[in-house]
Amino acid sequence: MSVATECANEAEDANLVYNHVCARVSSLDMEMIRAIPPGGNWKNIPPDIVNKSARLRQIRQSGGRTTYYGRLCDDMPSYTISTYFNRPGNGAFIHPTQNRLISQREAARFQSFLDSYRFLGSFSSIFKQIGNAVPPLLARAAGALFKPGRTVDLFAGAGGLSEGLRLSGHSIVAAAEINPNMCATYSLNHPSSEVLQVDITDGQGFIKLTECIENALSGKTLQLLAAGPPCQGFSIAGKWTHTDPRNTLIFETMKLVERFQPENVLFENVPGIVSMLSGSVLQKVLEMLGSLGYRSDWFALRAEQYCVPQRRRRIFIVGSRKGVQPQRPEVLLSCEPRNHTMGTEEGADGLPLPVTVGEAISDLPPILSGFGAGVCRYDSDQVSSDYQRMMRGQLSLEGFLRYRHKQD
């Protein structure tokens, strides 16, 4: 495969891939990266290199997570893509075979964004946009629980949650987000949605948002109110009390639920919300929904079971005004990676194996550490998996699943 080069005449070329750029690392980090094999981590770094780094010495003394300085492995799903995939020491972000960090496009593939989804804004913002997003294929599974219809997405970020809801048939009429870079990405990829750059906690901003939603609905029913607030938005630095949850982002969201009475609500958050303040935060959210007339529940989903090539757990809180308890979506793939000893093609649960790192990214052109291309051409001969075909827009999820289940 030839190294990616920047492509100039993008207008005429359908075979393009965007955001295939990776972060630069220091020469010491590069020494470490070279020492780590696929599937390895900081424990593989020899002592003479460890001794040159205060952070590594501290990790060695205190026993850091095995994902720190992790190198991905071609035959497993990736580890969780956080917003820090520009740093080798904060997770498993080293490319499985090249001596560099994963590119923004590779991270987007691990998050299940189609290649046609482009990220705009500053280089540093794009790491946050991708790392913070709900994987669209996971959001699609959650969205399929509800009758499709007019939807509003709050704290919309780069639009991962919206993208999944769109894929499950919902029509996103309005989205709200405070950050201009995120809004730029959102607008580009969701041209028919009204995107409002707004601070939802600001009084004037809240009024503008209410007007924006009213205009977008023009008297029609809001089918789904979706929201993925930052997790600290549920509890301001631990100051949440049972009686006074004001000023928290979730409280602002509840005001909108009360005002627009959507048929359904869907909140997404990190697993930490379940144990936050001994479970009282989650309990309070469910109680608030109950007092507004919603039958609600929550469940934890594993992204790799919904065709996302990444181990990522997320909590979904669901509520329905019709009183029908939304059920957890049926899993599509096993969460167990291939067992080399057994050589199995399926997990112990009888489901097909999860999508691996190699299946997700092996077709992308090689790039050098700290380089890549904002837009480059990919080689159509290099496609080697159904997941890659799906990401290139050549195969639907249904088609992908049929092949995975070997029904064709």
Ligand X SMILES: C[S@@+](CC[C@H](N)C(=O)[O-])C[C@H]1O[C@@H](n2cnc3c(N)ncnc32)[C@H](O)[C@@H]1O
Q: List residues near ligand X by CB under 6 A.
A: 132-134, 155-161, 176-179, 182, 199-201, 228-230
> How far is residue 160's CA from residue 148's CA, in Å, rounded to a whole number?
17
Burial 230-256 (b: 16+ CB within 10 A, else e): ebebbbeeeebeeeebeebbbbbbbeb
Judge contact between 129 and 158, C-beta under 8 A.
Answer: yes
CB nearer to ligand X: pick between 251 and 400: 251
Least distance in angstroms from the C-beta of 273 to ligand X: 12
Q: Identify which of residues 177 and 363 has a Cβ nearer to ligand X in the complex.
A: 177
Q: Which C-beta is closer to ligand X: that of 53 or that of 168?
A: 168
Sign of the CA dihedral 165, 139, 75, 82? positive
**156 contacts: CB under 8 Å, gap ≥ 6:** 162, 175, 176, 177, 182, 186, 195, 228
- Tokens in use for 123? 């280089």
Element (H, E) at 268: strand 264-269
Residue with Cβ nearer ligand X (94 or 130): 130
User: Which residues on neighbouring strands pair with residue 224, listed in sequence order?
Assistant: 151, 264
Output the smallest distance, CB 269 to ligand X, in A: 8
Q: Active-site residue 307, yes or no?
A: no
4 vs 139 by CB, closer to ligand X: 139
Q: Torsion angle, CA of 242/155/22/53, rounded to 10 degrees?
A: -20
Minimum Å gap between C-beta 220 and ligand X is: 24
Q: How far apart are CA 127 and CA 121, in angstroms?
A: 10
Half-sphere exposure in the Cβ direction for 229 (13 Å, CA): 22
What type of residue sits at position 327? Q
Min separation Cβ 323 and ligand X, Å? 27
Two tokens at 128?
């946050």
Pick the catalytic residue from 22, 231, 335, 376: 231
Query: Minimum Å distance from CB 182 to ligand X?
Result: 5
> In terms of CB distance, is 88 or 228 closer to ligand X?
228
* Least Å from the CB of residue 80 to ligand X: 13
* β-sheet bridge partners, residue 269: 315
d(CA 174, CA 213): 6
In the bound state with ligand X, the residue whose beta carbon lies nearer, of 53 and 125, is 125
- Residue 312 CB, shortest distance to ligand X, in Å, is 12
Three-state DSSP class for 187? helix
Enumerate the active-site residues: 231
